[in-house]
A and B are shown apart, each in its own frame.
Chain A
Amino acid sequence: MFGYIAINKAEMKFKDYDMYHSYYCGLCKRLKECYGIRGQVTLSYDMTFLIVLLTGLYEPETKLEVVNCIAHPLEKHAARTNKFTDYAAAVNLILSYYKCKDDWEDEHKKKSRLGAKLLNSKMKDIQKTYPDKIAVVSKNLKHLSILEQENERNLDLMAGLFGNIMAELFAMRQDEWEPSLRKIGFFLGKFIYLMDAYEDVEKDIRSGNYNPFKEGFQNNEHFAEDCKQLLTLMMAECSREFEKLPILLHADILRNILYSGVWCRYTEVTAKRLDAPVDLPEETEHNQQEPYQTDAGDNTDPDRNHSDTGEQQS
């Protein structure tokens, strides 16, 4: 998926990190058990956040196990799983499936089409369990894709459509906390959409793909700062709603993510642009930029990385 909703490890206590990591391993484990290796490679931080959030809110019975890590055969990891892990695993698959499909339709990346195809059979099971969620995701993505073709510039509208998707996915239950969870999901979704556009803007200018920030990036000298303000607006709404929930368990982890971790990529992307300003769309610059870009693509985004490796494996 996107991987923007991550922790800031440097600011996290060791015990909190271990706790977070155990939910992450738990998600990985359940992805594999429910959807096989193809599901497992969709693993993401974003959904780990959802698990920790729901666990903090509902304090469910949670199972702790020690598992062998596929990536690190010699290491054993603690894995925590509960009923929200299974839900997040399904959501993770839904989002990865649509992201692959979207990438294929957008950019005709062969890998993505293959990725979507591979997830197809798993999606049928999920469709049966969560027909309403799938319907909302699919409807909003379709709307997004139409507006992208029309080159829509309204940021609230575009980001809001992705916000609707996340709102639907965060609202796991119909109870007294549903409105709050929806709101958290909505603004987190807007944040993700805008952050994704912010990160991809150079690439999209080069490839000619849609990006709502194209003009701003090329003409606005305060582009980075203005985007930060937009992103802050989203996180402020999201975090205020979070603070209204009666969450004590894992609250430090969640605050680390909401107030700090979500900014890791923004900070990284912005610093990189400062270090190596890009003059678009000159070809020479383009070539110079290439290795840089590739590095970022392969090493900073666990989710994309995983989808790629998924195809290699199959």
Chain B
Amino acid sequence: MTDPYSVLGISRDASDEEIKKAYRNLSRRYHPDANINNPNKDQAEAKFKEVQQAYQQIMREREYGTSGGYGSYGSGSSGSDGYGSGSYGPGGYGSGGYGGFGGFGDFGDFGSFRGFAGQYRQANSGATESEEDLHMKAAANFINSRHYQEALNLLNGIKDRGAQWYYYSALANSGMGNNVIALQHAKEALRLEPDNFQYQMLVNRFESGGSWYQQQQGPYQTTFTGSSGLCMKLCIANLMCNLCCGGSGLCCGGGGMPGGYI
């Protein structure tokens, strides 16, 4: 497979901003609309697709730490998986500080989960398997194949809920976009088995989404330091504005936009 970075003509340590710029330039150049009269338009279109794929591959790799990843929440993924690379352009967004979390590559596309399902099978191979064991196993398979709803249906029918049940439930819920329950269940799994590395990783992964976000918020201080100084002031400004306009309420309806509209 060709190196996606070389397709975009950038180095591996390019910032996200540089990647986006490179993608924009190339996709503009090879876009079918820009090559209607080009005798080599088939080649241009092939190149256009290659550029698109390269861009998406890089973004996936940067999110998951390894290539492969999986689709978006609709087809099932959680999204907040791993935070391979951090820096978000020159605007001072983040400062690349998340590089340290690159290790989440392990978790990547649940690759290690596959192995985990294997362990589960082994651990139970000696004893006779109960129906619930079989359901747990099937749920693991559903999670691997990203059939999260089916996994949840099975899990919900299981009465005996140990750490592993919560771990599976966290993964399946995360895949469904149920990020609140996913975090709760991941924490519950960890509470039941505090030494389990995988549970720890999952909790970290879910929680790192929030801390990454707070880091991104860094440049914008005002709405969080102290009270809501600005917003309140704007409200008052709007109130006064409304009064001026005879209280019709038609203008200056809202906070943050005293310029008025309609």
Per the CB 8 Å criterion, the residue count for chain B at the interface is: 70
In-complex Cβ contact of B231 among A156, A159, A267 (8 A):
A267
Q: Are A156 and B181 in contact (CB under 8 A)?
A: yes
Chain A residues contacting B88 (CB-CB under 8 Å) are 243
Chain A residues contacting B256 (CB-CB under 8 Å) are 6-9, 45, 261, 264
In-complex Cβ contact of B209 among A157, A240, A256 (8 A):
A240
In-complex Cβ contact of A246 among B20, B248, B252 (8 A):
B20
Give, as a whole number of angstroms, the nearest-CB distance from A287 to chain B: 21
A101 contacts partner chain B, Cβ-Cβ < 8 Å: no
Query: Which of A115-123, A139-147, A301-309 has 4 or more CB atoms under 8 Å from chain B?
Result: A301-309
CB-CB nearest 7 A-B residue pairs: A302-B254, A71-B251, A302-B253, A260-B220, A179-B72, A156-B178, A236-B213
A34 contacts partner chain B, Cβ-Cβ < 8 Å: no
Chain A residues contacting B245 (CB-CB under 8 Å) are 71
Chain A residues contacting B216 (CB-CB under 8 Å) are 239, 255, 259
Known A9-B257, A302-B257; further 12 A-B contacts with Cβ < 8 A: A8-B230, A11-B221, A43-B261, A71-B260, A160-B176, A232-B210, A233-B209, A259-B213, A259-B219, A267-B224, A271-B232, A296-B235
Q: Are A186 and B177 in contact (CB under 8 A)?
A: yes
Which B residues from 162 to 178 make CB contacts under 8 A with A? 173, 176-178
Per the CB 8 Å criterion, the residue count for chain A at the interface is: 80
Binding site for A on B (CB under 8 A): 16-17, 19-21, 23-24, 27, 52, 55-56, 59, 63, 71-75, 79-80, 88-89, 91, 93, 173, 176-181, 183, 209-210, 212-214, 216-217, 219-224, 227-228, 230-232, 234-235, 238-239, 242, 245, 248-257, 259-262
What per-residue 1/0 map shows which CB atoms of A41-75 lie under 8 Å from chain B? Answer: 10101000000000000000000000001111001
Chain B residues contacting A235 (CB-CB under 8 Å) are 213
**Cα-based distance from A24 to B254 in the complex (angstroms):** 13
What per-residue 1/0 map shows which CB atoms of A234-270 lie under 8 Å from chain B? Answer: 1111011101101110011001100111011101101
Given contacts A41-B262, A186-B177, A240-B79, contact A72 B251 (CB under 8 A): yes
Given contacts A243-B16, A267-B231, contact A8 B249 (CB under 8 A): no
Give, as a whole number of angstroms, the nearest-CB distance from B69 to chain A: 11
Binding site for B on A (CB under 8 A): 3, 6-11, 21, 24-25, 28, 40-41, 43, 45, 69-72, 75, 77, 154-157, 159-160, 163, 167, 176, 179-180, 182-183, 186-187, 190, 229-230, 232-237, 239-241, 243-244, 246-248, 251-252, 255-256, 259-261, 263-265, 267-268, 270-271, 274, 295-296, 298-303, 305-306, 308-309
Give, as a whole number of angstroms, the nearest-CB distance from A71 to chain B: 3
Q: Are B228 and A267 in contact (CB under 8 A)?
A: yes
Q: Are B180 and A306 in contact (CB under 8 A)?
A: no
**Cα-based distance from A25 to B259 in the complex (angstroms):** 10
Chain B residues contacting A160 (CB-CB under 8 Å) are 176-178
Q: Are B71 and A179 in contact (CB under 8 A)?
A: yes
Given contacts A232-B213, A233-B179, A255-B93, contact A299 B220 (CB under 8 A): no
Residue of B nearest to A181 (CB): B72
Residue of A nearest to B233 (CB): A10
Give, as a whole number of angstroms, the nearest-CB distance from B258 to chain A: 9
Q: Are A300 and B250 in contact (CB under 8 A)?
A: no
Give, as a whole number of angstroms, the nearest-CB distance from B127 to chain A: 35
**Cα-based distance from A260 to B225 in the complex (angstroms):** 12
Task: Return 10 A-B CB contacts under 8 Å, by A number.
Answer: A71-B260, A183-B79, A234-B179, A246-B55, A260-B217, A261-B256, A268-B232, A299-B238, A302-B254, A303-B254
